[in-house]
Amino acid sequence: MELTIAGAGTRLGGRWVVDGVDATPPAGALTGLLGPNGAGKTTLLRLVAGLLAPEAGAVLVSDPAAADPAPTLPVHTMPRRVRARHVALLEQSSDAAVPLSVREVVALGRIPYRSLWGADPDAGAVDRALGAASAEHLADRAWSTLSGGERQRVHVARALAQEPSLLLLDEPTNHLDVSAQLALLGFVRDLGVTTVAALHDLNLAAAYCEHVLVLSGGRLAAAGPPADVLTPALVREVYGVDAHVLTHPMTGRPVIAYSPTGTVDV
């Protein structure tokens, strides 16, 4: 799905927390949404998901009912059921103790596809999503008994079960061990679905994202391929941290080596 964020902004608590953001994340690829705590990443994801209507500008997506893929449809005006078939948002996980099994939680992602009498037209969708999120071994567990990382995998599986054409992930690697982080981002990158993922780990973004957007104080500070954007000057300006940017010996992608603060023994 094509996505254009055109001067989008919104206020929360009387303050512009997303302010005049212009961006065109590449279709069918993984875009990293970066920026310090409070920069506006979650709010921008909610605007892109159509859960918030922008007070300024627009968030436009391809109209699923039209042959033309050009982004012309304001996402927040899509009927909810239609939007739920095309746009999935994985929010920062809540720890609600719902009395459901893992399989039932993932099946919630299939609600937009179910018929009036509750049948899912694709009986294999839940199992495929569990497999994609490396969570098939959890299928029959009670949700309330899972660890933080296990829950995160199930949240991801639920979003994938929606089979969206626009996938929005808010800190999807939260709680995951290193191996699960790499597996998840590798899987999402190879999905071929337009994906925007808020990430705190600049090295994961550099390794897996085709494009990155960097927010700072609600405004877009930089956008482009990670190798162009993730410079020592940018890391200093946005995060207030000194860093060296090295080149990964296998992939050629940037590796950010932060300079420790305080006294350093050498």
Site residues (vs ligand ATP, CB under 6 A): 12-13, 17, 35, 37-43
State the minimum distance, in angstroms, from the CB of residue 52 to ligand ATP.
10
| Local structure of residue 93 (DSSP, 8 states) | P
Of 15 and 80, nearer to ligand ATP (C-beta) is: 15
Q: Which residue is nearest to ligand ATP (CB)?
A: 13
CB of 257 vs ligand ATP, minimal distance in Å: 22
Nearer to ligand ATP, 14 or 249 (CB): 14
User: Cα separation of 13 and 99, whole Å?
Assistant: 34
Comparison of 10 and 165: residue with beta carbon closer to ligand ATP: 10
CB of 224 to ligand ATP, least distance (A): 19
Decide if 60 contacts 8 (C-beta within 8 A).
no
In the complex, what is the shortest distance from the CB of residue 215 to ligand ATP, in angstroms, rounded to a whole number? 6
Our CB check for ligand ATP shows the closer of 25 and 106 to be 25
Nearer to ligand ATP, 12 or 182 (CB): 12
Alpha-helical regions (H) of 76-177: 80-86, 102-107, 125-132, 148-161
d(CA 166, CA 187): 15
Rg (CA), the chain: 19
- Tell the smallest beta-carbon distance from residue 218 to ligand ATP (Å): 7
We find the least distance from the C-beta atom of residue 151 to ligand ATP, in angstroms, to be 18
Q: Is the dihedral of CA 249, 258, 213, 22 positive or negative?
A: negative
CA-based nearest residue to 136, from 110, 120, 156, 113: 156
Q: Between 41 and 253, whose beta carbon lies closer to ligand ATP?
A: 41
Q: Give ∠ CA 248-250-256 in degrees, rounded to 5.
A: 15
The least distance separating ligand ATP from the CB of residue 37, rounded to whole angstroms, comes to 3
DSSP class of residue 78 equals S
Structure tokens, 171: 């800190």
Closest CB to ligand ATP among residues 35, 109:
35
Q: Hey, what are 156's tokens?
A: 């991801």
Contact of 48 with 39, CB cutoff 8 Å: no
CA-CA distance, 218 to 18, in Å (whole number)? 4
* Tokens linked to 88: 């999935």
Name the token pair of 166: 């626009």
